């Protein structure tokens, strides 16, 4: 990355980031049930599905330089970036500041856009816990906020994406469910995540396993101390054509599981970008397991597949 990308762009080339509140009707409640306003099969969800009150959640959003809320003719692609297990919707912005104390990710986006590397886009930074206690950042395997990480896909499909695409001028329009629109819309959405968010990008977007507390569901495999697989997520490849997983966390599904889902979903995954540091004691073995056999199982349904290993990289923002 060019060094000047770490510095603020000229003022007229800077985007802005804001925090917004949006309603959520799909989340884990205090009884570990899935609250949903849509009809969701309990066998698919792996738990009881009930009606409940909406909750309000917060996310951050990056708007590129030149964004005009009154201009509904200019349309934007959207990138969703997911945080790690101890973070929240502010992690990408505040967890890795630039030398001037401002969000480094925003400086990078400003320069990429200004120098023509990418088109202007909107970036959404959600809180990845779909739970009644979504502000709880504690690392508790038996907690409902931890369980909420494994059910974020329902919130994404039914709450967050519809909110963004109804309130901002996006290229995609999730309310149009015609076959042609689904094919077109997924070309204008991308999603990536670091650590726990990388797991979500694989397990929930491509389609791997959900997990729950081993203490509550009983020990089955013992592969991940404290957590056990329950049911497979159906995946959201019908919504996203591009996926990134950075230093994907333990509980990420195997490459064979993920590759099979890519092949079976009915939509090609145009890009899968996976990266990890080779000195990452948390994720490197998981990363290797998640890429093993993936391409072979996915076949022609997978387009570009980047596997980037950062020499001496550890579990941090450098990678």
The yes-or-no verdict on residue 222 having pLDDT over 90 is no
The rounded distance, in Å, linking the Cα atoms of 161 and 172 is 10
- The residue extents of the domains of the chain are 3-310
pLDDT (0 to 100) of residue 61: 98
88 in Cβ contact with 137 (< 8 Å): yes
pLDDT (0 to 100) of residue 225: 83
User: How does the average pLDDT of the chain come out, rounded?
Assistant: 97
Tokens of 9: 């762009």
The rounded distance, in Å, linking the Cα atoms of 257 and 297 is 8
pLDDT (0 to 100) of residue 91: 97
- CATH fourth-level superfamily of 3-310: Alpha/Beta hydrolase fold, catalytic domain (3.40.50.1820)
74 in Cβ contact with 35 (< 8 Å): no
Whole-structure pTM over 0.95, yes or no? Answer: yes
Tokens of 53: 């009150």
The yes-or-no verdict on residue 221 having pLDDT over 90 is no
What tens digit of pLDDT does each residue of 58-72 get?
999 999 999 999 998
What tens digit of pLDDT does each residue of 253-263 get?
999 999 999 99
The rounded distance, in Å, linking the Cα atoms of 177 and 172 is 11
pLDDT (0 to 100) of residue 26: 98
Report the Cα 144 to chain-centroid distance in Å.
19
What tens digit of pLDDT does each residue of 137-178 get?
999 999 999 999 999 999 999 999 999 999 999 999 999 999
pLDDT (0 to 100) of residue 214: 94
Averaged over 51-58, what is the pLDDT?
A: 97
pLDDT (0 to 100) of residue 1: 86
The yes-or-no verdict on residue 264 having pLDDT over 90 is yes
The yes-or-no verdict on residue 284 having pLDDT over 90 is yes
The rounded distance, in Å, linking the Cα atoms of 151 and 34 is 8
Averaged over 219-237, what is the pLDDT?
A: 91
């Amino acid at each position: 990355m060019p060094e000047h990308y770490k510095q603020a762009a000229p003022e007229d080339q800077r985007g802005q980031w804001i925090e917004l509140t949006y309603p959520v009707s799909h989340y884990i409640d205090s009884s570990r049930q899935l609250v949903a306003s849509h009809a969701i099969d309990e066998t698919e969800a792996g738990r009881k599905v009930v009606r409940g009150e909406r909750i309000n959640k917060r996310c951050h959003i990056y708007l590129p330089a030149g964004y005009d809320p009154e201009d509904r003719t200019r349309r934007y692609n959207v990138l969703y970036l997911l945080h790690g297990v101890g973070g929240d919707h502010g992690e990408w912005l505040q967890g890795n500041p630039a030398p001037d104390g401002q969000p480094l990710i925003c400086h990078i986006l400003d320069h990429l856009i200004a120098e023509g590397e990418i088109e202007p886009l909107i970036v959404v930074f959600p809180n990845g816990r779909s739970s009644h206690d979504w502000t709880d950042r504690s690392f508790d395997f038996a907690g409902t906020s931890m369980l909420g990480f494994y059910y974020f896909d329902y919130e994404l499909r039914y709450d967050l994406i519809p909110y963004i695409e109804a309130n901002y001028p996006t290229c995609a329009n999730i309310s149009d469910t015609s076959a042609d629109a689904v094919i077109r819309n997924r070309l204008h959405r991308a999603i990536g995540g670091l650590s726990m968010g990388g797991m979500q990008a694989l397990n929930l977007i491509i389609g791997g396993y959900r997990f729950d507390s081993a203490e509550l569901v009983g020990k089955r495999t013992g592969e991940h101390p404290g957590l056990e697989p329950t049911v497979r997520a159906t995946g959201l490849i019908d919504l996203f054509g591009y996926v990134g997983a950075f230093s994907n966390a333990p509980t990420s599904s195997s490459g064979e599981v993920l590759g099979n889902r890519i092949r079976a979903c009915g939509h090609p995954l145009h890009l899968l970008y996976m990266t990890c540091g080779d000195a990452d004691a948390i994720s490197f073995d998981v990363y290797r397991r998640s890429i093993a056999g993936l391409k072979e199982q996915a076949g022609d349904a997978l387009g570009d597949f980047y596997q980037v290993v950062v020499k001496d990289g550890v579990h941090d923002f450098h990678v």
